[in-house]
Amino acid sequence: MQDALRPLIVSGYARLARAPIVASLVSLEDLYLGVLIAAKDMSVRLRPELKVGESFHDEHIVEEAVRSGALTKDESLLQLLVRLRGSAPPESLLRAITNSLTDRYYGLESLALASLMERSDHSLKIHALPDVSGYAQTPEEKLALARSWLRCWSRPGFWLSRMPPAWWLRDVQPRSGKFKTMSRLLRDKGAQSLFEKEWVPQLLSLFAVQTAPGKFRLEGRELSLAIGGEWASCQSCRTAQRPFPGRTTCVNCGEDTAVRIDPDSDPVFAARKGYYRASTIDALRTPPTAPMVLIAAEHTAQLNTAQTVEAFSKAEEHELLFQDVDLGRRRQGASGRRSMFFPARQRWRLVSTSVLSRASRSATCPQPAQTTSSAQAARVGAEPQWQP
């Protein structure tokens, strides 16, 4: 699901961050709205698995708002933003969204697509933090230092107000705010000490809440996404990262081997990550290229009872569609294209044919195995292909 969602997350969030009135308010709390807007914008049908009591009605709210021009009217977009902040995303979708940000290997930063940054109205507060001699004296260096600290929270994660309480301490964890990783960047003892005494308490008050003595939780509502911009890749450990002004110190391994790259054209980076970046880059183009049609359907007991007017139960219908059995026009998608279903629990991965064709041109990209279903999907041209 991550491959499918990544383009929607990045292009939808970029859209919100560009809108003048909402730009200073937009935070990671709005990732859900961004995904829904991008899905509507690119006519991508999204069907997340729903738990008992959950609804995906927000999709219709966003559809109606987009249809009446909310994307071009700041006031309407602001209303939509406020309204969606009050509703709960389906848990499966929220998990897929947060995983797309925090995944160590296929997360947005690892793929040089986007990285964590402060919500835009915090930038001036970071400029006002005391100089760290030799490391952070200009506004640009101070932002880079604060963002390096935010990066240290990738493992413990950030908290969103609509996360289920059960995720706390399991999926999102507290930290003290003092990270060993920062000492790889700030090698000078005096700079380390000043950072821990003067910066960390202020960064914690801006970006985190205290949950226990000496323990803090990073708050997604105080954070935003930096999309595009400059990137570096470490020649020692191959970690993608933002370049620190005037330095080549790798934030991961501490070697002075983090060199600036263009992730779109660097042959080594493209060979390793290009396959996973392609659909997001396509979605950011003008006009955007939609990633795929994506529908997740559950084979559960609750779906197994056929309604009196239906010949098949939902589970039977999904199974037949999955086997490429034609159930007639009424069963096909609104666009007239065949609907494709998959049981979410089997963790099927799907990619668009355009991504696959790019992959097949590159010898170093992972080659997906052809399955009966993908071979069938290939017959309908633009339809997505499947791979386990």
Query: Which residues of this chain interact with Zn ion, rule CB under 5 A?
Result: 234, 236-237, 250, 252-253
Rank residues 237 and 327 by Cβ distance to Zn ion and give the closer one. 237
The encoded tokens of residue 313 equal 């139960």
Rank residues 251 and 294 by Cβ distance to Zn ion and give the closer one. 251
Least separation, in Å, of the C-beta of 237 and Zn ion? 3
Q: Are 297 and 341 in contact (CB under 8 A)?
A: yes
Q: Are 184 and 224 in contact (CB under 8 A)?
A: no
The encoded tokens of residue 156 equal 């413990």
Rank residues 241 and 385 by Cβ distance to Zn ion and give the closer one. 241
Rank residues 138 and 236 by Cβ distance to Zn ion and give the closer one. 236
Rank residues 105 and 307 by Cβ distance to Zn ion and give the closer one. 105
Opening angle at CA 300, ends 294 and 304, nearest 5: 105
Least separation, in Å, of the C-beta of 231 and Zn ion? 14
Least separation, in Å, of the C-beta of 236 and Zn ion? 5
Distance CA 252, CA 180 (A): 10
Distance CA 286, CA 265 (A): 19
Least separation, in Å, of the C-beta of 292 and Zn ion? 34
Rank residues 224 and 249 by Cβ distance to Zn ion and give the closer one. 249
Rank residues 122 and 147 by Cβ distance to Zn ion and give the closer one. 147
Least separation, in Å, of the C-beta of 254 and Zn ion? 7
Least separation, in Å, of the C-beta of 238 and Zn ion? 7
Distance CA 126, CA 142 (A): 7
Least separation, in Å, of the C-beta of 229 and Zn ion? 19
Residue of 274, 239, 277 lying closest to 258 (CA atoms): 239
Least separation, in Å, of the C-beta of 234 and Zn ion? 3
Rank residues 105 and 308 by Cβ distance to Zn ion and give the closer one. 105
Long-range residue pairs from 298-305, CB within 8 A, at least 24 positions apart, any chain? 298/49, 298/50, 298/343, 298/344, 298/345, 299/343, 299/345, 302/52
Residue 41: phi and psi, rounded to 5, are: -60, -40
